Amino acid sequence: SSLDFDLVVVGSGFFGLTIAERAASDGHRVIVIDRRDHIGGNAYSHRDPDTGIEVHNYGAHLFHTSNRTVWEYVNRFTSFTSYQHRVHTNHHGVVYPLPINLGTINQFFASAHSPEEARRLIAEQASEFTIADARNLEEKAIALIGRPLYEAFIRDYTAKQWQTDPTELPAEVISRLPVRYTYDSRYFNDAFEGLPVDGYTAWIERMADHPLIEVRLGTDFFDESQPINKAAVVGTLPVVYTGPVDRYFDYAAGPLGWRTLDFTSEVVPVPDFQGTPVMNYADADVPYTRIHEFRHFHPEREEYPKDRTIIMREYSRFAEADDEPYYPVNTPDDRSKLLQYREMQASQPDVLFGGRLGTYQYLDMHMAIGSALTQYANKVAPMLSGSPSA
Ligand code: FAD
Ligand code: UDP
């Protein structure tokens, strides 16, 4: 029959594919559906047919983790280059390194401060607020880096990214912002970092490449004209659902707020557009937040053309009903809706919610994979062996 499976996975992003791969390797028959016409969720990338340059369709994806279990798991499907992410920012027509480090500070103040001198300077400039008492993003940022650096690099960029005044954003948004009193400009602090040697899609396809995994694309879980839909399978087969949690419950507690991104890409007839993978634009008069230049993610790929390059501008805005949800907005109102959805989940014991959309959480790839490995071991495997843990 069309329901000849042991497990239904809704969504072929890293969360869904990790569950599917683990279940198949334990001998279970898995069907993975995705409403998009490609596998891989937001990590999907493709080779631009004109230039051969790998383009990340849903924004640049940099893999990094300090979790050894996740690192060993992902290395079964791909090897990684030695890429290390670095970002620059353009403020008033001058380019500075990010995250804010001794290089940024000395360039900004046209100085040659030692680490100790820079610490003292920033402490003076940050004295308006203390880190412990900061009530919002603006106060937290000023407490961390002082007002001049905040106004140059954070205030307007954050307002563009969130379309919300920084005094109304939670302090946590900026809490992970590293400030370094060295010239170290690595974006991530993780133990393991790199990009998949053959690209994201090759990695993702290898995860799904198992005789017990069937993938059906262009298939929406709420479309009752196709056999693997909510009404037909819930209660019949265990389901791992990685789509939006509010959609699953027909928005019964109201829609959760998301931000979306618009990307515009362009082939530029120059060998090198900006000399680096990501350039942020800190100022309010530039409408985009950043420009990605994909060739720089893979300096090792000698086959890339020498006369053309692909750039992609990124714009941020609130998501409307038909937009791709990217970042949870997470207002207090959203949190209370989410709690109501969590309560509704209790009435669906054989549906497990996971991933970015299913839990309304920003998850990096390594976090999505790590939480899927845990959910598989703790919940899915017991369900499949006939002893539901719920
Ligand atoms: P997704 O990848 O979103 O997959 C969910 C899938 O479910 C989608 O394919 C969707 O089509 C499908 N689906 C939804 N509803 C239905 C339905 N009704 N029926 C069928 N299918 C459905 N992580 C990093 O580690 N490094 C980065 O640099 C990084 N950059 C990012 C940049 C952006 C702009 C975004 C948005 C995310 C970034 N991430 C990054 C996070 C990364 O994309 C996620 O960790 C990863 O996508 C999580 O996988 P997931 O499976 O939870 O969700
Ligand atoms: N940020 C900023 N200026 C920058 C880069 C980041 O103000 O040049 C702030 C901004 O509030 C942003 C947050 O730091 O939302 C996190 O930035 P990051 O680049 O880590 O987030 P991403 O957009 O890549 O998820």
pLDDT digits (tens, 9 = 90+) for 222-259: 999 999 999 999 999 999 999 999 999 999 999 999 99
Q: Which of 73, 66, 71, 103 is nearest to 87 (CA)?
A: 103
Over residues 124-132, the mean pLDDT reads 90
- pLDDT of 112 reads 98
Q: What residue's CA is closest to ligand 1, atom 33?
A: 59
Q: Is 295 tagged catalytic?
A: no
Q: Is the CB of 36 under 6 A from ligand 1?
A: yes
Which of 15-19, 131-135, 231-235 is predicted least confidently?
131-135
Among 63, 86, 242, say which to mutate for ligand 1: greatest number of ligand atoms within 8 Å of CB. Answer: 242
Note the pLDDT tens digit of each residue in 51-102: 999 999 999 999 999 999 999 999 999 999 999 999 999 999 999 999 999 9
The beta strands (E) that lie in 183-331 are given as: 192-194, 213-216, 239-241, 258-268, 278-281, 290-293, 309-318, 327-328
- pLDDT of 390 reads 37
Q: How far apart are CA 57 and CA 201, in angstroms?
A: 11
- pLDDT of 177 reads 73
Q: Which residue among the candidates 22, 155, 259, 308 is catalytic per the annotation?
A: 259
Note the pLDDT tens digit of each residue in 313-371: 999 999 988 899 998 988 889 999 999 999 999 999 999 999 999 999 999 999 999 99
Q: How far is the CA of 13 from the centre of ligand 1 (A)?
A: 5
The binding-site residues of ligand 2, defined as CB within 6 angstroms of any ligand atom, are: 89, 98, 153-154, 157-158, 161, 173-174, 177, 280, 282
Q: Is 58 tagged catalytic?
A: no
Q: What residue's CA is closest to ligand 2, atom 15?
A: 158
386 pLDDT band, cuts 50/70/90, is low
Q: Does residue 387 surpass a pLDDT of 70?
A: no
Q: Does residue 388 surpass a pLDDT of 70?
A: no
Over residues 3-25, the mean pLDDT reads 96
Over residues 263-284, the mean pLDDT reads 97
Over residues 299-326, the mean pLDDT reads 94
Over residues 21-39, the mean pLDDT reads 97
Relative to the alpha carbon of 62, which ligand is closest?
1
Q: Does residue 270 surpass a pLDDT of 80?
A: yes
Q: How far apart are CA 224 and CA 125, in angstroms?
A: 60
Query: CA 143 from chain center: how many Å?
Result: 27
Q: Which residue among the candidates 36, 290, 308, 356 is catalytic per the annotation?
A: 290
- pLDDT of 312 reads 98
Q: Is the model more confident about 387 or about 126? A: 126
Relative to the alpha carbon of 278, which ligand is closest?
2
pTM attached to this predicted model: 0.94
Q: How far is the CA of 155 from the centre of ligand 1 (A)?
A: 28
Helices H / strands E in the chain, number of each: 15, 16
Per the prediction, the chain carries an average pLDDT of 94
State both tokens at 174.
Answer: 């900026």
Q: Which of 337, 270, 342, 277 is nearest to 309 (CA)?
A: 270
Q: How far is the CA of 187 from the centre of ligand 2 (A)?
A: 11
Which of 123-132, 197-206, 307-316 is predicted least confidently?
123-132
The beta strands (E) that lie in 66-194 are given as: 87-91, 94-98, 192-194
H or E stretch at 356: helix 355-359
- pLDDT of 170 reads 82
For residue 96, the cross-strand partners are 89
Q: How far is the CA of 218 from the centre of ligand 2 (A)?
A: 33
Q: Is 362 tagged catalytic?
A: yes
Over residues 291-308, the mean pLDDT reads 97
Whole-number percent of the chain with pLDDT over 90: 87
Note the pLDDT tens digit of each residue in 196-229: 999 999 999 999 999 999 999 999 999 999 999 9
Q: Is 247 tagged catalytic?
A: no
What ipTM did this prediction achieve?
Answer: 0.97
Residue 365 CB contacts under 8 Å (≥ 6 apart), including other chains? 14, 43, 61, 63
Residue 328 CB contacts under 8 Å (≥ 6 apart), including other chains? 256, 257, 258, 259, 334, 360, 361, 362
Over residues 163-191, the mean pLDDT reads 87
Q: Is 364 tagged catalytic?
A: yes
Q: How far apart are CA 74 and CA 215, in angstroms?
A: 20
Q: How far apart are CA 262 and CA 65, in angstroms?
A: 27
Q: How far apart are CA 52 and CA 241, in angstroms?
A: 34
12 pLDDT band, cuts 50/70/90, is very high
Q: Is the CB of 43 under 6 A from ligand 1?
A: yes
Relative to the alpha carbon of 140, which ligand is closest?
2
